[in-house]
Structure 1
Amino acid sequence: MNAVASDPRIVNAGPRPVRISSPPERLEATVPLLESVGDAVGDVPAILALALKIGRTAPRTGEGDTAHLWELLASVTAVDVAAGRVLEPHLDAISILAQAEFNPRAGAGPHALEQARDTEDQTWGVFAAEASGLRLEAAQDGAGGYVLNGSKPWCSLAAQLDRAIVTAHLASGGSGDPGGGARAAFAVRLHDPGVSCETPQWSSRGLREIPSGTVRFEGVCAVPVGGTGWYLERPGFAWGGMGVAACWLGGAIAVARDFRSALATAAKGGREPDQISLAHLGETDRTITSLIGCLARAATRIDAGDLSGPEAWSEALRVRGAVAAGVERIQAMVVQDLGPGPLAFNETYGKRMADLSLYIRQHHAMRDDAQLGALTLKGDSSW
């Protein structure tokens, strides 16, 4: 890399894990994997291959080792935000399939669900977004199964994945449908001839290797995953939302490490940080420490069964809101302190900032706080 391509104040050391609560020696064992992630930056097929490898041994949410799952997500995202954005839905899909139980009212039969759970050599996405003017419907096919017709927005990497869990509206009269229009989750094969993936015009600098376009389904066979409403009502929906927050935090920790590296390098060169820089670094430390504690407590509560009911979503809104606010604050402080230089000339730092700024927009900001406020008004709080 030439002298102009990298801001010399930011010295990127080797990848380091993000610790939530695991023993340091356990995290040290993940360093070779993180080095592989670093080697694969920008290479989506290579990142997907790593996601497959990680998915074979990674813990599943709620099965006693949730904190380590979130450490893996945060650590990979700290190496490269886009890699974390690829890994998270793959691991989430594995957890969703593990959580699902065969529902005889949902059709397709238990063997179909067992076949869908074969994730050994299959890369997965989770497509649950909705958009005005686009609708995906599931209808019974007359043989006990379902077919999907319609369009689904915001389907990241659909053309490069093997399978996905998608949410669809049940056509009126579907088995288990309380009256038409309710949603359910389905497992689908993305290489089915009835699937067509749009390649979107992706003008954003952030997450450029992960464009999220619309996928169209025409008579695509689908396996029900849980029953009507199960996908959104299960506590695992909230747990998965906190897993995304762990990714956001991993990205912010990488930005904070860049900041500390820049200040330390400048100090070695005779330019000591001023009080404002030290205050920003202190606030960054305080924020990250608090957010790690927040995730550690949530993971412990999940594994203890304390977040297995309706209260799970309130906790998810708290965690996601706290992490999103902390991430944005850290980014703002670091940009103010380091100025335009690294944004203009340090590829790793610039990519990280752009990727993270787009990824954090999965948080719905004040709308999520309004949801939490409504739940708090009903008494769903600890205070």
Structure 2
Amino acid sequence: MADTALTLDALLADFARRPNPPMSGDALAEAMRLCIEHGLDQLPLPASGQTLARWQQLAAVGGIDLALLKLYEGHTDALAILAELSFNPFFLPGIWGVWAAEPPDARVSIVQQQGTEVLLRGRKAWCSGARQIDYALLTVWGADDQPQLVAVRLDSPGVSVDGQAWQAVGMASTASVDVHFDGVVGHSVGGPGAYLSRPGFWHGGAGIAAAWYGAAVALAKALREQRGKGRDDPHGDAHLGAVDAALCGAAAALRECAAWIDAHPRDDAQLAVQRLRAQVEMTVEQVCQHVGRALGATPFCRDSHFARLAVDLPVFIRQSHAERDLAHLGQLLAKQETEDWTL
């Protein structure tokens, strides 16, 4: 996987160092298609014995560009889901996404079904990359009031994108917009409830944490390079020491969780993954604080790659639900017979 990461860096070097302001969605889609053409989307499947290698690639893309990572992670997650549920209704290659947010004011429903073919109507919120991708896996609702995963072609009649609500500065180019479905034909993937009940659901959630980690490492490298120039700055050295301690702890947690998943491929990984996400989120917040305080305004204003990561990462990491996720973790721990804290 190290050779693949080097190939990725070489392939996207110009993309990572492009000047700001943010690029157009067309440029983002072009970068994603370049990854697909070179086979860089063909990652080891989660829980296949190479989970860490999969996460290393997600971290590598996260360190290059988080807007690209948003598309890349959604695409590779969709491929993993389709493999796990053993179904792919489309044969032409393209960029995939996964849209599974379910806010109370936006729901897509199945209004008609014949075999695996369904007719969809409603509004789906938080649809990342809707203007760049070709296919989507989305959660919808049937008569049994259970979430059903459905695959759709986004050039199908009845699909329309509404991006007016997206006012983000961070992650601006991925545009997690609303998509309306009016009599759109889709194909059910797995049975009702299969999306949430499959082991891979939590495996995918851990992959997001690897991407957070990769972006934090890229910011930390700017501090490491600055301190490597030899100018005496004990405060800068202290910030670098704090960053190193935080990142090494998160890296150990990622390796441990990946090994656990590979050793228990069919087990419920919720506790392991929620613990990991909390650890990595706290690490990212520490890294952002220490790097910013150590380096001052210069890289935020003069380094396009650093500046983009610095504004994208606080938005991207809000895929965590903060204290709500910590509360869920605490509830899971309270139900265990032991806390598993022994060295």
Residues 36, 200 of structure 1: alpha-carbon distance in 2 compared, 3 angstrom cutoff: farther
Q: Offset at 1:371? A: 0.6
TM-score (normalised: structure 2) = 0.91
| From 366, 374, 380, the counterpart of 2:323 | 366
Is residue 2:133 matched to residue 1:161?
Answer: yes
Alpha carbons of structure 1 residues 205 and 143: separation in structure 2 relative to 1, 3 Å: closer
Among 258, 269, 289, the alignment partner of 2:222 is: 258
CA distance 1:135–1:335, shift in 2 (3 Å): same
Tell me by how many angstroms 1:336 deviates: 1.2
| C-alpha distance after superposition, 1:126-178 (max 9, x if no partner) | 000122321111233356631111010010111221101100111x2xxxx3x
Matches within 5 A, 1:151-300: 151-170=123-142, 172=143, 177=144, 181-265=145-229, 267=230, 271-274=231-234, 276-300=235-259
How many angstroms apart in 2 are the aligned matches of 1:239 and 1:122? Answer: 23
Following the alignment from structure 1 to structure 2, what is the Cα–Cα distance between the partners of residues 298 and 46? 33
Identity in percent = 34
Equivalent in the alignment of 1:10: none
Which one of 71, 78, 94 corresponds to residue 122 of structure 1? 94
Q: CA deviation at 1:114?
A: 4.0
**RMSD (Å), alpha carbons:** 1.8
Which residue does 1:104 correspond to in 2? none
Counterparts of 1:212 and 1:94, CA distance in 2:
20
Task: Please say if 1:146 is aligned against 2:118.
Answer: yes
After TM superposition, list the pairs within 5 Å mapping 1:317-328 onto structure 2: 317-328=274-285
| Cα distance change, pair 55–192 in 1 and its aligned pair in 2 (3 A) | farther
1:55: how far off?
A: 5.1
Q: Which residue of structure 1 lines up, in the alignment, with residue 303 of structure 2?
A: 346
Q: Answer whether contact 2:130 2:175 (CA < 8 A) is retained.
A: no
Q: Which runs of 5+ in 2 are unaligned?
A: 17-22
Look up the equivalent residue of 2:266 and give its one-letter code. S
TM-score by length of 1: 0.81
Q: How does 1:17-28 map to 2 (within 5 A)?
A: 26-28=1-3
Number of corresponding residues: 330
1:331-355, CA deviations, whole angstroms, 9 ceiling, x for partnerless residues? 0111111122222332221111001
Cα separation, 2, equivalents of 1:355 and 1:294: 24
Deviation at 1:82, TM superposition (A): 1.9
1:68 pairs with 2:53 = yes
Structure 1 regions of 5+ residues with no counterpart? Answer: 1-25, 102-112
Give distance in 2, aligned partners of 1:158 and 1:324. 26
Post-superposition Cα deviations, 1:252-298, rounded to whole Å, max 9, x if no partner, equal 00000011112223x2xxx3121x32222112111111111111111
Cα contact 2:136–2:152 (8 A) shared by 1: yes
Alpha-carbon distance in 2 for matches of 1:279, 1:149: 56
Q: Distance in 1 between matches of 2:113 and 2:42?
A: 36
